Amino acid sequence: MTPPPATGVVEISGVGAEAASLLRDLAPELWWHDRSPFLSASARPAMPWLRYEHRDHRAEAADRSPAPPVVARPVPAGRVGMTFAPEDGTGARSWAAARGLRLLAPAQAAVAVAADKIDSLGLFERAGVAVPESTVVRADPADAESCWAAGGGRPVVVQRRVNNLTGKGTRLVTSAAELRAVLGDWRGERLRVSAFVPGIPLTVSGCVTGDASVASAVSHQLVGLPELTPFWGAHCGNQLVADDELPAGVGARCRQVCDRVGDQLRELGFRGAFGLDLVAAPDGAVFAIEINPRFQTVVSLVHAQEIAAGLLPMLGVHALASLLPSVPVRRVRAACLALSQLVVPATRHGVLDAIPESGRYRLDAGALRQAAPGRLTDLRPGEALLWRHALPGDRVRPGEELVLVQLPHRAAPVGDRPALDPAARAWIDAIRRATTVTEGPPR
């Protein structure tokens, strides 16, 4: 297996790959539960016994998922389950109970504090990390002019406090009139209003263990790209980034912020994986924006980077952090892999008629052609891995994720809202041509 080309050097911390044998002894039956196996697939080269089961988020949202048993069954030792966003509803816990698995999920009270974009401000303050100047308001359009004036008439970012909105609860406001519209749309909600900080949006993937914090790979967060979304703050994808592609010292500062935030999460009783969204200003300052107290989509790329660096992938670190009081953490330097991924969403309301199957593809005169199965790090130029996150017959709405496409190269230059390169756009166009939706009323 030949890893994709490197783009520079990155310093990351983690747990040595040799810990996989310990994890297998502790959890010989280890399951991952999600809408597709994209995240577990990139971990399996180092954790080949890891198993996958589909999670139907739509059924959960419609209350069609199985109810948890009234009396929980005893869980045999070594039967362990993990899932994406276990805090979303009861689906994850229902699945674990039905399968007789111990669900490795952070304490719900700690997750609630970390995920809340208002409550997390106190956590950032205790961690001693910089955040954009922020205030909290009760949304009322009548207050728009006074709120705008209080901010000095400068652009602000308005955020709903709830998490897992994939950026659609975040808006850039550049005038009092725009602020009035936002306060009207979210009338009555408590909102976080922060000074807009221009810079490179980044994510650092971390994990809280019983006695240390892991600061793994830093990625360039692709946000609000017009080729993919009409929403200014919507998540569009990620790409791994080397330290020397960022302003001097930014990579180290990102890891320091991750360590400090992880230490505060530990004080709340949190254990396991989390993501931290940051902005690197042109002068090299790093500002914390929000905490995602769960696995993030980018962890699929992070797994490849960790394995290439001789480390256990984040899924394994999360499991060990949940099962053991102490986990040995080391820091390593490695070549940064040139990997990226993009989210292709629905563009209209309706019923999904056709969507590419998950698998390895190549482009042939602009059309998708399936290739032999392979791993993320097996991809050659002109190939991609596609993961479908919806099925024919599903009702979809604009902005809803349909396909995740993973590429063995950069999708865009490193910067603030860069244009996608022609190769990335070609993949998006091909996926859209292969995906059809019968228009219908909003659900």
First to last CA, the chain: 45
Say whether pLDDT at 183 is over 70. Answer: yes
Say whether pLDDT at 55 is over 50. Answer: yes
Domain that holds residue 142: 133-195
Write down the pTM of the prediction: 0.94
Q: Could you tell me if residue 219 is inside a domain?
A: no
The mean per-residue pLDDT over the stretch 327-341 comes to: 97
Residue 167: per-residue pLDDT: 65
Q: What is the pLDDT of residues 286-310, one digit of tens each?
A: 999 999 999 999 999 999 999 999 9
Longest Cα–Cα distance of the chain, Å, equals 62
Q: What is the pLDDT of residues 368-413, one digit of tens each?
A: 999 999 999 999 999 999 999 999 999 999 999 999 999 999 999 9
Say whether pLDDT at 71 is over 50. Answer: no
Q: Could you tell me if residue 106 is inside a domain?
A: no
Helices and strands (H, E) in the chain, number of each type: 12, 23
Confidence of residue 2 (pLDDT cuts 50, 70, 90): low
Q: Could you tell me if residue 338 is inside a domain?
A: no
Q: Could you tell me if residue 340 is inside a domain?
A: no
Residue 75: per-residue pLDDT: 76
Which residues is 83 bridged to in the sheet? Answer: 33
Number of domains observed in the structure of the chain: 1
Which of the residue ranges 14-28, 92-106, 126-140, 155-169 would you say has the lowest mean pLDDT? 155-169
The mean per-residue pLDDT over the stretch 134-163 comes to: 92
Residue 256: per-residue pLDDT: 98
Q: How far apart are CA 272 and CA 319, in angstroms?
A: 7
Q: What CATH number does residue 188 fall under?
A: 3.30.1490.20
Q: Could you tell me if residue 53 is inside a domain?
A: no
How far CA 132 is from CA of 141, 158, 194, 287, in Å, comes to 23, 12, 6, 6
Say whether pLDDT at 65 is over 80. Answer: no
Residue 262: per-residue pLDDT: 98
HSE-CB at 97 with a 13 A cutoff on CA atoms is 14
Residue 439: per-residue pLDDT: 87
Answer yes or no: are the C-beta atoms of 280 and 246 closer than 8 Å.
yes
Mean pLDDT, the chain, rounded, equals 93
Say whether pLDDT at 318 is over 90. Answer: yes
Answer yes or no: are the C-beta atoms of 110 and 293 closer than 8 Å.
yes
Confidence of residue 168 (pLDDT cuts 50, 70, 90): confident
The mean per-residue pLDDT over the stretch 76-100 comes to: 89
Say whether pLDDT at 3 is over 80. Answer: no
Confidence of residue 1 (pLDDT cuts 50, 70, 90): very low
